[in-house]
Amino acid sequence: MNISQHFPVFVIIIPLISAVIIPLVGRIRRIYGWYVSIAATFSSLLLSISLLRTVFEKGRISYWLGNWEPPWGIEYVVDYLSGFVLVVISFITFIITLYSMKSVGKEIPEDKITSFYSIYMFFVAGLLGMIITGDIFNLYVFIEISSLAGYALIAVGRKRDALIASYNYLILGTIAATFILLGIGYLYMVTGTLNMADLRERLPLLYDSTVVRTAFAFFSVGLSIKIALFPLHIWLPNAYTHAPSVVGALQAATATKVGIYVMIRIMFTVFKPRFILEVVPVSQMFLYLSAVAIIAGSVLAIGQKDIRRMLAYSSIGQIGYIVFGIALANKLSIIGSLIHILNHALMKGGLFLVVGSIVYKTGITNIDDLKGLGKKMPFSMAAFTIGAFSMVGVPLTVGFVSKWYLALGALQAGKWVFVLVILISSLLSAIYFGRVINNIYFKDDGGGHTTKIDDAPAGMLVPTLTLASCCIIFGIAAFIPVYITRFAAEMLLGG
């Protein structure tokens, strides 16, 4: 019996168990909670990488939980798509966990730190579970695990606003989860199965059934709320703004990405591309919605005074990009979407970490107050600049790669108007990031900060710079992620 056969379940089990261990070891010394989190996320990362390698060597991995044969038992599936997203998400969570210690220590009351890390690990386990599961009800369970943990993480924020933000998110998130559960119920009602691969086989005969179509409608609405697709985004800006910095970064870089991954799974694995393109052309609806999201997110970001809120609105636009590529549903555009899952996680994660460092050092979140920070926090600000350039889509950064594929995908589909949407939103993001960069580097603070401020401590700086340099590395060596996502896109469209 080879231990590596059980890697798919270890990816989930390790964070889950550590979530329980943390309160125990946290009693001995608080810092142990952090150590365990790092160990858990790091081993998830290693396992994910090894799983992805196995996929490339041997093809799709199907793991039967408890050795129950699917469709009766729960199946965990690692293929090109889930392997890729697993690596992305576990990498980002590892980096953010590395970063978290000082920031959490400053922003969260001391007696809550241990329980914070415990919930944090539940959140991570939920996300990784959503990615790896091949069972649609198990998916719902993991969605709820990560969501409930997510509400709690946001509520830990210092100000009372955090509670309101968390409560809003809780209400909307619960509505979304209910929709998803109803969708699952309807599908089970007509097919009698919960296994995704099995559903895929059985559903085509039922594409005309109203129940199946209603189920798909429920999935669409529920997931659109989860990923904050405009105009169902209202929970997101407050949640990102009032959550502790680490949580903001984690949510922005991972939670919505996994939501979109689930959307892809439902659209392309549970249903077949034919369903969304021909039978019920919802792809058209998502196409226009995402175009509106791209523009609206960017326009709303311009008006913001708080930098976290600006980044949050920018995220809404970026989610639009990913949905846009999926809705176009050709090979180039799907590569664009999948690669943007990685790219946006890198750049938005990096940007939120920089904001976290600013908050840690100065407590500032207002854009106008950032004046003169370029000299005081040179490395953090360099990371911010790289992230900002990447968001605008300057060539040789990751942002350009996504835009290249999305635009080519749009052209290939003959929808050149959408290329304009992409370009206009690039310009809009140049405007709102330009304003911040101008403040950072080219405006004097007029002796505002009398206290001497230096750059963030190394423990925060190294993870931030890692993400920033990834923005450039994967912008130049873009063929590496493209190589993986190409297989994933072919798999989604082909089979």
Residue 196 or 401 with smaller CB distance to another protein: 401
Residue 408 or 491 with smaller CB distance to another protein: 408
Alpha carbons 261 and 89: distance in angstroms, whole number = 11
Report if residue 368 touches another protein, rule: CB under 8 A: no
Pairing of strands 75-78, 61-64: antiparallel
Using CB under 8 A, which of 205, 442, 448, 458 touches another protein?
Answer: 442
Using CB under 8 A, which of 30, 331, 443, 449 touches another protein?
Answer: 443
Using CB under 8 A, which of 34, 80, 179, 404 touches another protein?
Answer: 404
Using CB under 8 A, which of 112, 201, 412, 448 touches another protein?
Answer: 412
Residues in contact with 41: Cβ distance below 8 Å, sequence separation at least 6, in sequence order: 15, 90, 93, 94, 97, 124
Residues in contact with 31: Cβ distance below 8 Å, sequence separation at least 6, in sequence order: 101
Report if residue 411 touches another protein, rule: CB under 8 A: yes
Alpha carbons 401 and 408: distance in angstroms, whole number = 11
Report, in Å, the least distance between residue 479 CB and another protein: 6
Interface region with another protein, contact rule CB under 8 A, candidates 20-28, 125-133, 386-394, 449-457: 386-394
Report if residue 401 touches another protein, rule: CB under 8 A: yes
Using CB under 8 A, which of 285, 416, 458, 495 touches another protein?
Answer: 416
Report if residue 382 touches another protein, rule: CB under 8 A: no
Using CB under 8 A, which of 420, 448, 459, 495 touches another protein?
Answer: 420
CA distances from 341 to 319, 326, 376 (A): 9, 11, 32
> What is residue 62's three-state secondary structure?
strand
Using CB under 8 A, which of 136, 229, 407, 440 touches another protein?
Answer: 407
Interface region with another protein, contact rule CB under 8 A, candidates 114-122, 275-283, 435-443, 451-459: 435-443
Alpha carbons 480 and 36: distance in angstroms, whole number = 31
DSSP code per residue over 204-250: GGGTT-HHHHHHHHHHHHHHHHHTT-TTS-THHHHHHHHS-HHHHHH
If you ran DSSP here, which 8-state letter would residue 371 be given? T
Chain residues in the site for another protein (CB under 8 A): 389, 392-396, 401, 404, 407-408, 411-412, 416, 419-420, 423-424, 426-427, 430, 434, 438, 441-444, 475-479, 482
